[in-house]
Amino acid sequence: MNILMVLTSHDQLGDTGKKTGFWLEEFAAPYFTFADAGATITLASPAGGQPPLDPKSDLPEFQTELTHRFKADPDAQARLANTVKLDTINEKDYDAVFYPGGHGPLWDLAESTTSIALIEAFERAGKIVSFVCHAPGALRHVKAADGQPLIRGRRVTGFTNGEEEAVELTKVVPFLIEDEFISLGGLYEKGPDWHPYVVVDGKLITGQNPASSEGVAKKVIEQLR
């Protein structure tokens, strides 16, 4: 099993002057779920090197067993510090792709022609494409083979309007995933705010929020097996 994980390189939270990036739990939980299943993992990002960590995700109240495991794992830390550049990646080398969230992807991965083309290549090849929390936003401009939005008529989830409101970033983010997916014709679903909620539509797997990270990763492994 060769799994590609694509992280954001964007570290600015709009024009607030605050930092953003990827959310630690949304990286750590899938990373170790994949590793424990025996997968070979490649980490990539648009800029390469160390992706920016959302500083909020490093606060004590957001730590889990798997984030603590990451902080005690020098090898995992070294690998994260040396992500390869996204434009060097070939879909043919991987069985699945997973995008961790954090607010960063709404700015860079959602608009990246490299990322869009990569997701389309995975989808055309019948391979798993998976995303959690804000990372489903990377699907915004992705098209199916017929030129329609990839998510049109398909079951999807992602960070809810209620969750965005709770973190007081509704007016800061470039778009709201729930509204955007509905406008694109996606069959958007959600569970209660902050509770695990994973949606599987064929090879498209999405999770609603940080609590859904491990669940998405487990669904990826189930399909690969």
Residue extents of the structural domains in the chain: 2-224
CA distances to 18, 76, 133 from 101, rounded to whole Å, are: 17, 18, 5
Phi-psi region of 126 (alpha: psi -120 to 50; beta: other; left: phi over 0): left
**Predicted local confidence at residue 210, as pLDDT:** 97
Helices 24-36, 213-224: axis angle to 10 degrees equals 30
Q: What does pTM read for this prediction?
A: 0.97
**Predicted local confidence at residue 4, as pLDDT:** 98
Which CATH superfamily groups domain 2-224?
Class I glutamine amidotransferase (GATase) domain (3.40.50.880)
Cα gap 56→180, rounded to integer Å: 25
Nearest to 22 by CA among 70, 91, 88: 70
Cα gap 55→61, rounded to integer Å: 12
Write out the two tokens for 224.
Answer: 């690969």
Average confidence (pLDDT) per 10 residues, the chain, 225 residues = 98 96 98 98 98 97 97 98 98 98 98 98 98 98 97 98 97 97 98 98 98 98 97
Cα gap 192→189, rounded to integer Å: 10
**Predicted local confidence at residue 66, as pLDDT:** 97
- How does pLDDT run across 136-192, given as a tens digit for each residue? 999 999 999 999 999 999 999 999 999 999 999 999 999 999 999 999 999 999 999
**Predicted local confidence at residue 1, as pLDDT:** 96
CA distances to 31, 137, 175, 182 from 170, rounded to whole Å, are: 29, 14, 8, 17
SS3 193: coil
Cα gap 128→3, rounded to integer Å: 9
**Predicted local confidence at residue 170, as pLDDT:** 97
